[in-house]
Structure formats: C-alpha cells, structure tokens
Structure 1
Amino acid sequence: MTHSVGAPSTALAMANPWAVVPSLGNLDAYISAVNRLPMLSLQEEQEFARKLKDHNDLEAAGKLVLSHLRLVVAVSRKYLGYGLPHGDLIQEGNIGLMKAVKRFDPDQGVRLVSYALHWIKAEIHEYILKNWRMVKVATTKAQRKLFFNLRSMKQGFKDDADAATHRDTLTDAQIEVMARELNVKREEVIEMEARMAGGDVMLDPSPADEGDEAFGPIAYLSDANHEPTAMIESRERDAMASDGIAAALGELDARSRRIVEERWLKVNDDGSGGMTLHELAAEYGVSAERIRQIEAAAMKKMRKALAAYA
C-alpha cells in the first residue's frame, strides 16, 4: 500500500512507522521521502538502541532503520555501474541496514551510521556477485576486492593526464600497479578483466533453435546431484540400504536370516558371493529346492517389512 509523502501524523507514525515510506516501485518518490525523514540525535539513537537491546522494542528498531534509509540510498548509488536496478540495490542495502540495527550495541562507543556502513556494503556486494553474472566472478576475499576496485582503478588510469594511452585494455605497467595495490597476482588481474569484459551467454537455447536439436549451456551446467528431490531420494535410499535392511533382517528366524545373508549380502575378498543353494542344503541336511523355498519366503517377509519401514 503506497501512502502520500506528506508530513505524517503522529498517530500514523506510531501505528506503522513504515507507512511514511512509499514503495520502491516508485523510486523517485521513495528517495524523496527517505531524504525528508528526520535524523536522530546521539541521545535519541542511544535511547532507541537500548530499548531494542534490552526490551526487543520493535518500534524503536523501526525508528533506527527509518532514520538511516537515506544512507542506503547514498551507498547504493556508487554501484549503479554494474547494470543492476537501483531499486534492487536499495532493497539489498536495506536488508544490510536491518541486520546492522539488530546487532548494534550502543555501548560500543560508535554511531550507528559508522557501524551500519559495513553491513550495507556487504549485502550489496553479495547481491552484485550473485546477479551480475550467472557464474560467479569472484570467490575469495582478494578476488572480491579486485572485482569491486577494477572499474574505478581502470577509470583512474584513463583520467591520468600522464597516461600514454587511453585504451580499454590494461597495459603491463597498469596490471603491475593494480596487482601490487590490491595484493593479488598479475594473472588474477588479467583473468578478472577478461571475465568482466566478456559478454553474457544465454543459458537457455536460442529462440531460433527449434525442435529436438535445440541445445543450450543450461543442459550441461545443471547439477542433478544437488537437485533437492534427487538429494531426498538419495538419502531415503541410503537409509533403506542400512537401517531398513537391518530392520527387515530382524524379522527373520536365524536360519532364514543366514540363508539371505549368504545368498544376497555376503561378498568375499575375491569379489565372489556367499554360499550356493547346494552348499547351504548340505549344511542344513535338506534339498536345494527346500533352501530356495525358505529363501523365497524370507525375501517376501523382508519386502513386507521394508514397505512398512518406508
């Protein structure tokens, strides 16, 4: 529900402090509204932070968040060069702000604005890394630092009046400078630049590809081993093969259990199985046909037990 951005009444602000902020769907109205929200004094910030910490006062938490929404807008503007929607960047930054408010300790001797800055940036960074490319371009801490500094450092090289060239690609000297300042290898700088300069690849087949021959990278990028349904089925099979079999064997008498174990579960060091029907028949002094009948009855009883176990 979107409300007007005028000065809110005290009753409305007390009942629902978020009602004074328009939806992010109207980005201009949202930014205009949060920039007009009053900032808290140190005394007010400390008061609300203690109410949240000591009494889990959600109204106090809301006031801390609302008074710092303009900070999120300011930080998010620095990441518009990655081609992601400004509203999404603000949304992720707001999540970081709320995490900061939840963890903020008023006794640490710092203002919330300084504490929240780290959390806001961290949440935006994570969002960019997950969404800027379908395949992550940075995994280690050093690579992340390189990812977020490569653009600005390249721009600095271009703006340098003493630069010998204004090419888009980095020179060997520039690569050396960047690697030294960011504490990474030359090869990592080269690889990251290539990743960021590379074009996006469609994961699904092209619309022009029709019929059974249509094929796209999604066909070989998917990992069926970690698909949720497959993982559940795998765990069920593992449980059935261990606990389920043990429970079913427990339903058999000693002779039936030994026959099943020798015929189906025993594996010798040379890869051969257990005893044959004739060997078991000789041991128990009955015919091989009788051993087969006992085995069949035992297997039927086990299947019933396994069905109940599942």
Structure 2
Amino acid sequence: MNSVQADKKLIKFAMAAPYLDREEERQLALRWKDNQDQHARNRIALAHMRLVVAMASKFRGFGLPLGDLIQEGYIGLLEAAARFEPARDVRFSTYAGWWIRASMQDYILRNWSIVRGGTSSAQKALFFNLRRLRAKLSQGDQRLTEQAIHQEIATALGVSLADVQAMDARLSANDTSLQAPVSQSSGGEGTEKLDMLASDEPQPDEQVSEMIDSERRLHWLSGAMSRLNEREMRIIRARRLAEDAATLEELGSELGISKERVRQIETRALEKLRHALVEAHPEMAM
C-alpha cells in the first residue's frame, strides 16, 4: 500500500468514527479523569479524529506528508484528552483544537527545513502567517513595494521588520548543502560553500596571546598559593581548582570540621590570594 492509499484509508477511518453528544462526551471525560479509564479517553479521541484530518489539510501547503501531519495531530488530540476538564463545561472539540494545531506546528517547524527556525510565539506566528498575509496584501494593493509589504506584516504580527525579511528569505529559498560547489578551478578542484564560511574561532595571534596570558596567570597563582597554609590550600584546590568542585559538607567531613568553618576558611584563603596577587602585580587591582 502506497502513502496515498494509506492516507485515504486513514481519512476514511476518521470520518467513520461516531459523533458524541454533549452528555456522552462529559461522562467519558469523567471516567477518564476520575478512574483513568483508557478506553474512555480513546473513545473521546477517536470521535474527534475528523477534526485532526481537517486541520492537517490546512497545513498541506508546507509540503509534508498528510499522513505524518495526521499522526502528529493525533498526538496532540491524546494530550488534549488527557488534560481535558469536564467541569469547565466546554465542548472537547473547542479545547482540543489548540493542542492539535500546536502539535502539527511543532512538527512542521522541526521538519520543514534542516535549519531549525525560531520557536518563540512571535516567530511561530510569523512562520505560519507570513505567506497568507503577503498574498492578502498583494491582492489588496498591487502597488505596494516589497518593503511596504514587509512593514505591514511586521506591524500586524508585532515583530521587527528585520525578522519579517529574514523569514521571507528563508521561506523563499531551499536548503542547500554545505558541500555544494561554488566554483571550479582549472585543476579540477572546486570551492565548496563550507570553504566560504567564516570561522568563529579566535585568530592565531589571539590564540597565542591567550595561551601566554593563561600561562602567566597560572604562574602568578602558583606564587600566591605559597601564602596559604596546608588546610587552606586543600580547600582552595578542592573548591576552586578541581574539575568537580567538592561541597562544603564533603570537605567538612574530610577535615573534621563544620561546613560553616570550611566556608570561613575558604573566604579567608581567597582574601589572602587576592592580597598576594595585588601586592605582586598592582595592575590586577584595576
């Protein structure tokens, strides 16, 4: 069975599910809430599968399989059924619509592009409404410039103009591999997009400078540590220099003192180190 046939079978199954009247729906919801009756929850969900199908059809324009959208919507439907409060006297379909839509939108955002998009509510609204608003504005006044359309959308959705422009560019372009060739040399070796990306690593001279500074600071710290007694040095090494810092309680147990005493010794040792470093290197006080 191919995907089209599977989708048709799933839709037919959803449409054949019996409706629930208000009282029957309430009784099933009470059985689930009070007794954790899984059968009651599943009956509520099954009766509203047609709602999932209808909403999935609205999101087909994003190019994802209808069957996958329906499955994601069903997950949202089950979540709605699990959280539904019958005491609120609201029909389940009204409550479930938000959960179904949210589940499908999250799925689309995860799978529409290999590049992860924004997940804030404003970015989601922009992603799912930009095309609709653009089409509406273009039809309403064909004299509007691209800049004016973007500004109208930004105002309508409460986002910045830059966000609208970035999202529009993203929705208009396809994903491109970083291994895609940019140019081809005469020797047969090409330049790839990956080769054109700027590295966020420090420049070589910055790396060397940082290494020298780190070595210098370690040397200064080593000299200052000589001012500490054995117990102070043990606490500083365990609390400040170890990869997994020991707790005050652990050190107190090891040294046979209270954790408050460990804290006092640590504070005093840090003050000693600060004085020693400033005394030897006054520029550190600035």
TM, length-normalised to structure 1: 0.58
Match of 1:200 among 175, 186, 199: 175
Aligned mates of 1:60, 1:139 — CA distance in 2: 34
* Alignment pair present for 1:86 and 2:69: no
* Contact 1:24 1:30 (8 Å CA) reproduced: no
* Contact 1:25 1:87 (8 Å CA) reproduced: no
Tell me: CA distance 1:67–1:85, structure 2 relative to 1, closer, same or farther (3 Å).
same
Correspondence for 1:225: none
- Mind listing any 5+ residue stretches in structure 1 that lack a counterpart? 3-22, 208-212, 222-236, 252-265, 272-310
Tell me: CA distance 1:120–1:164, structure 2 relative to 1, closer, same or farther (3 Å).
same
Aligned mates of 1:250, 1:107 — CA distance in 2: 57
* Alignment pair present for 1:98 and 2:78: yes
* Alignment pair present for 1:109 and 2:89: yes
Correspondence for 1:188: 163
Match of 2:150 among 165, 175, 185: 175
Correspondence for 1:128: 108
Tell me: CA distance 1:216–1:28, structure 2 relative to 1, closer, same or farther (3 Å).
farther
Cα offsets for 1:170-223 (capped at 9, x unmatched)? 6232223212211222222112112222321225x469xxxxx99959xx89xx
- Mind listing any 5+ residue stretches in structure 2 that lack a counterpart? 182-190, 201-241, 256-269, 278-286
Correspondence for 1:163: 142
| Count of residue correspondences | 211
SS at match of 2:177: coil
Alignment of 1:36-55 (within 5 A): 36-55=16-35
Which of these two proteins has the greater Rg computed from alpha carbons? 1
One-letter code of the match for 1:164?
R
One-letter code of the match for 1:185?
S
Aligned mates of 1:133, 1:171 — CA distance in 2: 24
Structure 1 position 25, deviation (Å): 8.0
Cα offsets for 1:57-101 (capped at 9, x unmatched)? 111011001001111111011111112121111111111100100
One-letter code of the match for 1:189?
V
SS at match of 1:26: helix
Q: CA RMSD in A?
A: 3.7
* Alignment pair present for 1:76 and 2:51: no
SS at match of 1:242: coil
**Percent identity for Structure 1 against Structure 2:** 35
